[in-house]
Structure 1
Amino acid sequence: MLLGKRLGVKSIIILGGADVARDPELGYGIWLSQWKSILVKRALRSADCVLAVDQSLKEEAKILAGYNGSNITTLPTGYDALFWKPGLEKRNDILTVAVANDKARFRIKGIDYLIQAAQQMPATNFAVIGVEPSFAYTFRPPLNIKFYPAMTQEELLHFYQESIVYCQPSRREGLPNALCEAMLCGCVPVATNVGGNSTAIGDSGFLVPYADVASLISALKEALSSGSELTAKARARIVSLFPKEKRERELLKIIAGLAE
C-alpha cells in the first residue's frame, strides 16, 4: 500500500466481515494480533478507497482503525437473480450455510445455537452445509439436523430451492452471501440482528437477538408457517436492492473516479 502511494498507484481495499473482526472471547479476528492490527490500520487509512459491503462494517472499521473513515464507501455485493431462483417444490424445512470447521468459526456462525434450537424442535428437519459431518458430530447434535461439507453453487442451488426457511444464526456478519442467495431462491429468512443481516432482510423475514434460543425457535416456527407472501417478498427485496449489474456499474464508476 505504501509502495503504491510512492509510485502513484491508486489502491482499493474491499472489506468483508472477517476483516473487521475482533472477538477476544473466541480468540477470533486479525485485530487481536498487535502487529497485524497495525498493518491493517495503516492500510485502511492510506488506501485511496475502501469498499465495505455493509454500513455496519464501515462503522466497525472506523472504530478499530481510529479515524473518520472518509475514504470508506459502502458498496453492497450483487447477486445473479437469473441463477439464484426459486424451484418448483419446497420439501425441506430449515437450511443454514456456513463454512465452519473449527470451534471459533462454529460459534461465530451460531451453529451451536442452531443445534440447541433443533434439539427443541424434534419434528423439524435442519440441514447445515459447509461443516464437515465428522467435526459437527463432536458437538453431539440431535438426529434431526444433518451436516454436509461445502458444495458447488449448482449443488447448493438445489438445497436453497427445496428449503422453506433459511436461517443465519451468526454472532457477526457482513452482508451474507448465503442469506441473500437463499432469499432469491424463495426461502423465508430468519437471522440474528447483527451486521448486514438486517440490511438484507428488512421487513421480508424475521430478526432475532443473537444467542436467544427461545426467540430463534419462535421465529423459525413462524417462518415455517408464513406462506408464500414472504417468499415472494424476500426474493423481490434482493432483486431490487442488490442486483449484480448495480455493483458492477458502481465499481466501474469508482475505478474511473480514481483514474482521473
Structure 2
Amino acid sequence: MKKRLLYVTPSFQSFVKADLQILEKHFQVRVNHYPWKNKQYAPVYFFLQFFAMIPSAIWADLIVVNFGGYWAYWPTFFAKLFGKKSVVIVHGTDSAAIPEINYGSLRIPVLRKICGAAYSKTDLILPVSDSLIETELTFDPPITHHQQGIKKLYPDLNPKFKVIYNGLDEDFWTYPKHIQKEENSFLTVMSPSQFSLKGGDIIVELAKEFPTCKFYFAGVGLEDLEMEVPENVHFLGRLSPEILRQTYQKAQFYFQLSSFEGFGCALAEAMLCGCIPIGSNTNHIPQIIGESGFILKKKDLTLATDLIQKVIKVKNKEVLAEKARKQIIQNFTLKQREKELISTLNTVL
C-alpha cells in the first residue's frame, strides 16, 4: 500500500505540476492549497490552514511543502507535534533577502521569522540548487547584500539539506533539426514583475546596440511596460507550453541575465530546444550552462556589448546548440529528479 503524502503548495507552476505527477506515481497524495498570492487575504488563509492541517497531518505519513512562506508554518508545526516527517522544497525567493532590487521573501521581517520557524522544524530542506544554501552575489553592482542563501540568512539554524536539481522533460522540449533557427535572434522568458530582476532592462539596451538582431520577450506584453523600445524588440505576451516550445526552437540564443535565480527552468527548456545560452554569473546559472554557452560576468552594458559581439561571430553555432541540449540531458532531466526525489523521501520516511 502506498504511503500517504500531503503536498502543500501556494502555486502551480510547471515545475510544481511536474513534481506532483512524480509524487502521485509513488504515493497516495492529497493537496493543500490556498491562493496565497492574494496577499491581503493571507491572514484568512493562515487561519483556515490551521484547522485544515490538523486532520491532514494526522492522515499523512509525510508532508511535503513547496516553497518557504506563510503556508509552510502550520504543516511543519503539526508534523513535529504529531511525530510525522516533513520536508520543505525551496526555490529561490524563499532563500533570499535583497532589498536593493526588492527581491526575496526573507527581506520581510514577519515572513523571515515564519520561514525560519518552518526551516527549524522540518526534517529536511530540499533546495533546487546549491546556491540556495549559500552563495555570494557579484553580478549586479547595486546589490550590496552579497551573502545570500539559508545558511547565510539564518546563521543560528542548523537544518539538514539535500540538493535535488529541477528536472526537465527532454521528450517535450525537443530540438528538431529541420526547423531553421532565425539568424542572430535572442529570446528571453519572464513575467512583467520580473523585468529588471531577469535582466530585461539590459537586454533592451543591447537591442539598441545591435539593430540588425532580433530580441524576443516571452511572458511580457508591450502593454505591461511603460517604456519605449527599438523596433527590433518584440514582446510575445504569455505563451502556451506548445507555442513556447516552437519559439525556443526558432531562437538561436537564449538570455538568462538574472540578478538572482534559484535554478533557471526556462534556461534549461531553451537549451533542450537548441538555444545557445547566455547567462549571468550568478547562483547556479554557470553550472547549468556548463561549456555550452556564454557567461556575462557583470551587469554592465559595455561588457554585455562586447560579449554579444563575440557571440554573433561564433562559427560553430550548430555544435553549441547540440551541446546545450546534451548538457541538460546529462544533468537536469525529469527522470533524474524523480529518482533523487523519491529516493530521498523514502529515506526520510
**More displaced, 127-136 or 179-188?**
127-136
1:90 aligns with 2:188: no
Seq. identity, %: 30
Choose which of 106, 116, 130 in structure 2 pairs with 1:31. 106
Q: CA distance change for structure 1 residues 69 and 120 in 2, over 3 Å: closer, same or farther?
A: farther
**More displaced, 159-168 or 58-67?**
58-67
Alignment partner, residue 210 of structure 2:
121
User: What TM-score do you get using the length of structure 2 for normalisation?
Assistant: 0.70
Alignment of 1:236-247 (within 5 A): 236-247=326-337
Gaps spanning 5+ residues in structure 2: where?
Answer: 1-75, 135-148
1:251 aligns with 2:251: no
Alignment partner, residue 131 of structure 1:
220
**Higher-RCO chain (CA-CA 8 Å, sequence separation at least 6):** 1
RMSD: 1.4
SS at match of 2:258: coil
- Structure 1: distance between partners of 2:311 and 2:89: 34
SS at match of 1:25: helix
1:119-173 deviation per Cα after TM superposition (whole angstroms, max 9, x unaligned): 111111100011122023x121211111122211101000000000001111110
Alignment partner, residue 133 of structure 2:
58
CA contact (8 A) 2:96 2:103 kept: yes
Q: How far apart are residue 69 of structure 1 and its match?
A: 4.7
Choose which of 76, 79, 104 in structure 1 pairs with 2:165. 76
Choose which of 175, 196, 201 in structure 2 pairs with 1:112. 201
1:22 aligns with 2:97: yes
Matched residue type, 1:97: V
- Structure 2: distance between partners of 1:170 and 1:213: 14
CA contact (8 A) 1:170 1:210 kept: no
1:153 aligns with 2:228: no
Matched residue type, 2:289: I
Alignment partner, residue 273 of structure 2:
185
1:220 aligns with 2:308: yes
SS at match of 1:254: helix
Matched residue type, 2:169: D
- Aligned length, in residue pairs: 255
Q: How far apart are residue 247 of structure 1 and its match?
A: 0.6
- Structure 2: distance between partners of 1:256 and 1:55: 22
Gaps spanning 5+ residues in structure 1: where?
Answer: none
Q: CA distance change for structure 1 residues 228 and 134 in 2, over 3 Å: closer, same or farther?
A: same
- Structure 2: distance between partners of 1:221 and 1:9: 56
1:105-125 deviation per Cα after TM superposition (whole angstroms, max 9, x unaligned): 221111011111111111111
Please identify the structure whose Cα radius of gyration is greater: 2
- Structure 2: distance between partners of 1:128 and 1:135: 12
CA contact (8 A) 2:128 2:165 kept: yes
Q: CA distance change for structure 1 residues 31 and 70 in 2, over 3 Å: closer, same or farther?
A: closer
- Structure 1: distance between partners of 2:110 and 2:172: 42
1:4 aligns with 2:87: no
- Structure 2: distance between partners of 1:45 and 1:224: 48
